[in-house]
């Protein structure tokens, strides 16, 4: 019988125009065999869907939410205001961004009490790694995979240096 898996990470974004950036989070999570679900949830265009998503995510079994948005990037902060799950924000340099700082500051400058763990501009891959690290706190097997990942990065840099 096929194994049905409950996604542990919810990846959401404000628009399909964020998808190319946000796919990097999905890719790296898949490489660690972490199940995730991907959806478009806009704070401005589908506010009721956003409330529904944020208020039901924990009950559905999601452990970490990765939220990407650009410009007036309210999605990560608004989702964080509606859930106690950790929210990782990905500022996207989007079609309506001035230079990307708008997206960064909209996500980063949260008020006390409502944190969003903000990664670098377009750094959805790092958001995926951070989500994996959060999950690995209670999962030794996953923690070992992350250690191997770091070792591999180290090896690659040493190899590249030798080629100079």
Interface residue list for ligand RP5 (CB under 6 A): 13-15, 17-18, 42, 44, 69-71, 92, 94-96
Nearer to ligand RP5, 15 or 118 (CB): 15
| Rounded-to-integer distance, Cα 108 and Cα 91, Å | 9
Nearer to ligand RP5, 8 or 79 (CB): 79
Closest distance to ligand RP5 from the beta carbon of 74 (Å): 8
Query: What DSSP element (H or E) covers 67?
Result: strand 64-70
- Taking the CB of residue 109, how many other CB atoms lie within 10 A of it? 10
Closer residue to ligand RP5, CB minimum distance, 69 or 78: 69
Closest approach, Cβ 66 to ligand RP5, in A, equals 13
Total count of residues recorded for the chain: 164
| C-alpha span between 27 and 50 (Å, rounded) | 24
- Find the residue with minimal CB distance to ligand RP5: 14
């Amino acid at each position: 019988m096929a194994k049905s898996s409950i996604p542990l990470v919810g990846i959401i974004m404000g628009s399909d125009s964020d998808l190319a950036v946000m796919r990097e989070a999905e890719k790296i999570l898949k490489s660690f065999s972490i199940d995730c679900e991907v959806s478009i949830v806009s704070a401005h265009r589908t506010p009721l869907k956003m409330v529904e998503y944020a208020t039901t995510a924990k009950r559905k079994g999601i452990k970490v939410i990765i939220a990407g948005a650009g410009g007036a990037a309210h999605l990560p902060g608004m989702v964080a205001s509606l859930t106690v799950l950790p929210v990782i924000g990905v500022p996207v340099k989007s079609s309506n961004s001035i230079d990307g700082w708008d997206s960064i500051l909209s996500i980063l400058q949260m008020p006390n009490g409502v944190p969003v763990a903000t990664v670098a501009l377009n750094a959805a891959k790092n958001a995926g790694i951070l989500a994996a690290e959060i999950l690995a706190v209670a999962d030794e097997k996953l923690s070992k995979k992350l250690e191997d990942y770091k070792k591999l990065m180290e090896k690659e840099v040493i190899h590249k240096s030798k080629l100079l």
